[in-house]
């Protein structure tokens, strides 16, 4: 089990693995309960772990003649992020995330996390858990994604 | 909260369009020169012809069947893992990494140069011994073949260097094409079997049953493992069927002897190459795929069954010459291990580390009862899940 807590939600604000308890969620000004503690724990995971989780989600419906290694799942995640970068950028860089991002102090990281997840939630057909993707993007640096200098793969997100 | 959207999300695997699926699998090959000379332009052209021909066979196999359309696409990934996934338009894409083809070819070239003779020294450990992964290490110069990759370009550079260092003799080219054809056609037919046997629907049905809280007689990993066993079994039969319809000349005993020998060699090489990490039989108990030794036994069971039913006049030739191919490959793997052990492929990166055999295909008399027992358990699992799938099919 890679994730330290319950399974990350498939949609922002949803954790199906336990009873909902209001005090287990961070409330923001974005309209109600947004991220569970388990989701917030994603922020402290190493980038590699997040990439493996993304890769697992992206290959979940596949069949193969051998197991995919963690390294291969990482590669799948990196390629997908590169492919989807424009769509992700459109979703998060023009939204209120930007306001929070550039005014963010450290204690607002959780709020930023919720805002990114909220913005990504507007993207249709995302084949990965939004919370995991949000954590991954924040770790990479929203300023790098929304700024002018976007590095290309493999150094990209 | 949009619960319906959430249910849809959890019910369905991530469906994407063809181009996204190809992109995340490594992208299309824009130029074979981009592969750092790990494969020549001539051999690459032969791979493309193979893919075109295999696509025609897949189209024929799926034409009358009530199943999804399958498109085979060659990708630039250096990975060993060939994958198959459903797409958002209802079709299925078979993602064939050129990496697995290059690795099979290079490994075959390496193994075929070992003389086909027995020797006294063997570096093996019983399959029932568990070994922590921290104890093992791949010899550095064999990593391009057996190892994982950090990034695509870096691994292509390693494969290119390996290809220049261990360049096969030109007279081996025809044999290498036969071996590569056999291994790749088998592994493609494994994936085709998933589609023809309705495993995509079975996966969705399993998720539905889970969501409805219906207890199934098998665990998640057993269910998935049974689907893989089923694909191995039917893939083996489809493979022999493909052999039969592709090569008219194999109808003569002499041609069959050579063909079956190299098929035996190729399938053994494939299973031997596929898992370099877990050597112990027990480490496969909870995984999606059985141990390579057991997989090879299942392959023989399936092919013997197929030929008994369809081509009984080929059965003796098959059993005799597949065996010589298997023997040759296993002995060559042993020789490779011996060379790795004496440092032919580099030294361990850290003191105290040791080589373990490059392949999990280690046979010994002491293990035979364990592997036979495991084979029986796999067959029981396969039959149990088969009955479950039949009941689902009848109900729908």
Please determine, for residue A20, whether its predicted confidence score (pLDDT) is greater than 90: no
Percent over 90 (pLDDT), chain A: 23
3-state DSSP call for residue B31? coil
Tell me if chain A has a CB within 8 Å of the CB of B14.
Answer: yes
Tell me if chain A has a CB within 8 Å of the CB of B197.
Answer: no
How far apart are alpha carbons B229 and A60 in whole angstroms? 18
Please determine, for residue B36, whether its predicted confidence score (pLDDT) is greater than 50: yes
* Selected residues 121-150 of chain A with any CB under 8 Å from a CB in chain B: 125, 127-128
Average pLDDT in the B236-250 region?
86
Higher pLDDT, B168 or A79: A79
Q: Yes or no: say if B279 and B294 are a contact pair by the CB < 8 Å rule.
A: no
From residue B143, alpha-carbon distances to A2, B112, B346 in Å are 27, 19, 10
Query: Nearest C-alpha of chain B: how many angstroms from A96?
Result: 21
How far apart are alpha carbons B26 and B96 in whole angstroms? 10
Handedness of CA B116, B120, B126, B129 (dihedral sign): negative
Q: Which residues in chain B are closer than 8 Å to A65, comparing Cβ atoms? A: 81-82, 187, 190-191, 231, 274
B70-84, B223-237, B349-363: which has the minimum mean pLDDT? B349-363
Contacts of B177 (CB under 8 A, 6+ apart): B43, B46
Minimal Cβ distance to B6: which of A11, A125, A128: A11
Most confident of A87-96, B135-144, B298-307, B329-338: B298-307
pLDDT band at B116; cut points 50, 70, 90: low
Higher pLDDT, B116 or B382: B382
Q: Yes or no: say if A128 and A54 are a contact pair by the CB < 8 Å rule.
A: yes
Query: Nearest C-alpha of chain A: how many angstroms from B327?
Result: 23
* Selected residues 40-79 of chain B with any CB under 8 Å from a CB in chain A: 77, 79
pLDDT band at A114; cut points 50, 70, 90: confident
Tell me if chain A has a CB within 8 Å of the CB of B23.
Answer: yes
pTM of the model: 0.84
Tell me if chain A has a CB within 8 Å of the CB of B91.
Answer: no
Nearest residue in chain B measured CA to CA from A84 = B20
B10-14, B123-127, B250-254: which has the minimum mean pLDDT? B10-14
Please determine, for residue B120, whether its predicted confidence score (pLDDT) is greater than 70: no
Looking at residue A157, its pLDDT comes to 54
How far apart are alpha carbons B185 and A130 in whole angstroms? 38
Average per-residue pLDDT for chain B: 85
Express each pLDDT in A22-77 by its tens digit: 334 444 444 444 567 777 888 889 999 999 999 999 998 889 877 788 888 999 99
Q: Which residues in chain A are closer than 8 Å to B85, comparing Cβ atoms? A: 59, 61-63
Q: Which residues in chain A are closer than 8 Å to B23, comparing Cβ atoms? A: 79-80, 83
ipTM of this predicted complex? 0.80
How far apart are alpha carbons B44 and B98 in whole angstroms? 9
Query: Nearest C-alpha of chain A: how many angstroms from B105?
Result: 18
Q: Which residues in chain A are closer than 8 Å to B149, comparing Cβ atoms? A: 71-72, 75
């Amino acid at each position: 089990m890679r994730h330290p807590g319950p399974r990350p939600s498939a949609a922002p604000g949803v954790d199906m693995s336990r009873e909902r308890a209001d005090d287990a969620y961070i409330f923001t000004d974005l309209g109600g309960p947004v991220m569970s503690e388990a989701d917030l724990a994603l922020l402290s995971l190493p980038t590699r772990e997040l990439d493996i989780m993304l890769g697992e989600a992206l290959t979940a419906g596949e069949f193969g003649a051998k197991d995919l290694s963690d390294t291969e799942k990482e590669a799948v995640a990196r390629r997908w992020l590169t492919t989807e970068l424009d769509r992700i950028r459109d979703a998060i860089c023009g939204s209120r995330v930007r306001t929070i991002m550039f005014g963010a102090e450290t204690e607002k990281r959780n709020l930023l996390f919720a805002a990114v997840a909220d913005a990504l939630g507007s993207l249709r057909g995302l084949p990965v858990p939004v919370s995991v993707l949000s954590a991954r993007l924040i770790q990479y640096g929203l300023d790098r994604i929304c700024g002018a200098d976007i590095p290309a793969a493999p150094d990209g997100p | 909260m949009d619960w319906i959207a959430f249910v849809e999300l959890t019910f369905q695997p991530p469906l994407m369009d063809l181009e996204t699926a190809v992109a995340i699998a490594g992208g299309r090959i824009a130029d074979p020169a981009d592969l750092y000379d790990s494969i020549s332009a001539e051999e690459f052209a032969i791979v493309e012809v193979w893919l075109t021909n295999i696509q025609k066979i897949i189209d024929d196999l799926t034409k009358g069947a009530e199943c999804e359309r399958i498109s085979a696409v060659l990708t630039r990934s250096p990975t060993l893992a060939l994958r198959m996934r459903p797409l958002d338009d209802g079709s299925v894409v078979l993602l064939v990494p050129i990496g697995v083809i290059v690795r099979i070819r290079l490994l075959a070239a390496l193994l075929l140069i070992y003389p086909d003779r027995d020797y006294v020294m063997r570096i093996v450990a019983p399959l029932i011994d568990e070994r922590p992964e921290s104890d093992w290490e791949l010899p550095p110069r064999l990593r391009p073949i057996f190892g994982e990759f950090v990034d695509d370009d870096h691994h292509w550079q390693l494969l290119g260097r390996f290809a220049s260092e261990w360049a096969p003799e030109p007279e081996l080219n025809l044999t290498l094409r036969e071996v590569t054809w056999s291994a790749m056609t088998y592994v493609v037919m494994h994936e085709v079997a998933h589609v023809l046997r309705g495993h995509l629907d079975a996966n969705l049905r399993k998720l539905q049953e889970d969501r409805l809280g219906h207890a199934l007689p098998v665990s998640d990993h057993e269910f998935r493992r049974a689907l893989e066993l089923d694909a191995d079994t039917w893939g083996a039969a489809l493979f022999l069927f493909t052999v039969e319809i592709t090569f008219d000349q194999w109808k003569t005993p002499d041609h069959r002897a050579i063909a079956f020998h190299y098929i035996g060699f190729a399938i053994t090489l494939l299973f031997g190459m596929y898992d370099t990490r877990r050597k112990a039989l027990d480490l496969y108990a909870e995984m999606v795929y059985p141990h390579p030794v057991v997989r090879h036994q299942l392959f023989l069971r399936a092919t013997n069954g197929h030929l008994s039913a369809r081509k009984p006049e080929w059965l003796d030739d098959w059993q005799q010459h597949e065996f010589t191919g298997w023997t040759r490959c296993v002995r060559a793997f042993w020789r490779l291990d011996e060379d790795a052990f004496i440092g032919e492929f580099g030294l361990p990166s850290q003191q105290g580390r040791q080589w373990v055999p490059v392949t999990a295909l280690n046979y010994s008399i002491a293990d035979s009862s364990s592997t036979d027992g495991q084979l029986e358990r796999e067959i029981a699992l396969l039959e149990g899940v088969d009955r479950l799938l039949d009941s689902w099919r009848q109900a729908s």
